[in-house]
Every structure is written in structure tokens, then in C-alpha cells.
Amino acid sequence: MTMKVGFIGLGIMGKPMSKNLINAGYSLVVLDNHAQSVAELTAAGAQALATPKAVAEQCDVIITMLPNSPQVKEVALGENGIIDGAKPGLTLIDMSSIAPLASRDISQALQAKGVHMLDAPVSGGEPKAIDGTLSVMVGGDKAVFDKHYTLMKAMAGSVVHTGDIGAGNVTKLANQVIVALNIAAMSEALVLATKAGVNPDLVYQAIRGGLAGSTVLDAKAPMVMARNFTPGFRIDLHIKDLANALDTSHEVGAQLPLTAAVMEMMQALRADGQGTADHSALARYYEKLAQCEVTK
């Protein structure tokens, strides 16, 4: 393939995503602070560069997968940033989960240099990043989306255009609200069953095929009952997403009382030293209140 792709951010998600691009035959240039991750990718055939500016000078499209809005702004618009090395026609696909208004601000600044931008956050966590079946929700110009659909599909099971720039991150925030509230509801229910003397695994087996069944329930209930809180998605990251959801809700005038409640539960867990645990550890908040443990 002639398209040269830059990938900035080789973390839990970015590393497997970039490997899938190499496996799909793309020519890849990578940048990350962690030498070990960079070494893994160069061993797989990628080229490594030292600054976002250098990546922009060499690439037709750049994918960023970074922690939050400030890091994306820094990489795109900061010193030796993408904007400094960009040629007109370059496309930035930001696959980080950031504030929608930040996406719009970055896009506007890049537009002045003739650079297109898509905000394309993902859902599915590390397992789906590894097997290339992520769900990608994309905001931006439809023609730019169409041009890069095949590239995004090399990392994903589904890639859906949801509107103008910022719409991808609004969609992701909606996704994160639903996931957080689902885990909280599941935790309440399984703690209720346990405290009432009923086996929570049998409750789970009985309800999973009915209206209460969900992808979240199937992914997280077995983890809780196995006491496996190894992070597929850390509480700290979910706190970041809910903070962006609440900030956005205040800006647009939408009220999110249940999201605010779950945010406080997650904050309590972080204060308890559990910020790096999987978000299924929300069950521990309820277990502490009820003084019980949800196990098979």
C-alpha cells in the first residue's frame, strides 16, 4: 500500500492497533515515550521517529491514541507538533477518547494549515484492540471518513460515521455512560443476591438471556465472581471519560444524575487505592457497604 501511516501513542490500546495495521500491509511510522513499545513495533517492521513534526513530514495520515485532551492538543498543536510538519491534505485521525469540544478546537486549528481531522474514539478495550474487532465511532467530514474507512476497518469490527467533528467523542461519552451505569446496576443486583443468600452465578445464568442481559453483564459478572480485577479498562480511565461526559453535559445543558452518582463511586474506589483496577471493581464499592463478597 502506498499510504504512509503515522501512529502516535503505543499504550495498552495503541500497540496492538498499530500491529494490526502492519499485519494489514500498511507502511507505519511510530512515536511513543516508551522505548520498549517502540522497539516491539520496529521489530515488526515499523519506522520510529522522535517528534510529531517529523511524523507529519513523512506521512499522509496520522493516528493518535493518547490519554486525554491535553496530550492530543500537545501532539497536534504544541512545539514540534503535527501542525509544524504538516503538508496540506494530511489527515489526523484521533482515536483517543477526549472532550468533544477539544476535538473541535484542534480540528479548527489544523484546518488553517489544510489538515483534515476525524475524531474516532474506540470501544472494546484491550482484547478487541488485539483481535482487531474494536467499535469505532467517527466524527468529521464524510468524504474524509470514506477515504480512510478501509484504514480504520483494519483495526475494527465496526466503523460508523456519527456526524461532524466532535460527534465521535459525543458518541463515545454516551457509550461510557451506559457502560458505567450497567456495571453499577449489575453490582447492585449481584450484591443483593449474595446478601439474600442466593448464589449470584445462578442469578446471572438465569437473567442473562432475558431483558436484563447485556454485553456488559456477560463481560463483567464472571470477572467479579472470579475476583479477577485485572484491567481491561481501568477505573482511572473511566473516571476521565465520565469527567468529560459531565463537563460536556454542563456545556450543552443535559443533566446526568446517574452518571454523577457512579462518578462518586469510582472516585471513592480511587481514593481507596483501586484506580488501576478494572472498572468491574465497582462491585467492591457495593460489597464494602453490604459487607459481603460476590463469588460463585
Q: Of these residues, 53, 128, 172, 240, which one is catalytic? A: 172
Q: Which helix (H) or strand (E) holds 177?
A: helix 167-195
Given a contact cutoff of 8 angstroms between Cβ atoms, the answer to whether 283 and 224 are in contact is yes
Q: Is 172 a catalytic residue?
A: yes
Own/partner long-range contacts of 211-220 (Cβ < 8 Å, ≥24 apart):
214/182, 216/178, 216/179, 216/182, 216/183, 216/186, 217/182, 217/186, 220/182, 220/183, 220/186, 220/279, 220/280
CA-closest candidate to residue 137, choices 154, 151, 118: 118
DSSP 8-state secondary structure symbol assigned to residue 181: H
- DSSP assignment string, 10-67: -STTHHHHHHHHHHTT-EEEEE-S-HHHHHHHHHTT-EE-SSHHHHHHH-SEEEE--S
State how far the Cα of 263 lies from the Cα of 285, in Å rounded to an integer: 12
Residues sharing a CB contact under 8 Å with residue 165, sequence separation 6 or more, in sequence order: 103, 104, 107, 117, 118, 119, 139, 140, 141
**Residue 158 DSSP class:** E
All three cell numbers of 285, joined, read 464499592
| CB-CB contact of 22 with 77 (8 Å) | no
Q: Hey, what's the cell of 283?
A: 462491585
Q: Which three cell numbers stand for residue 280?
A: 468491574
Cα(81)–Cα(77) distance, rounded to whole angstroms?
Answer: 5
Cβ atoms of 137 and 120 within 8 Å: the answer is yes
Active site residues: 172
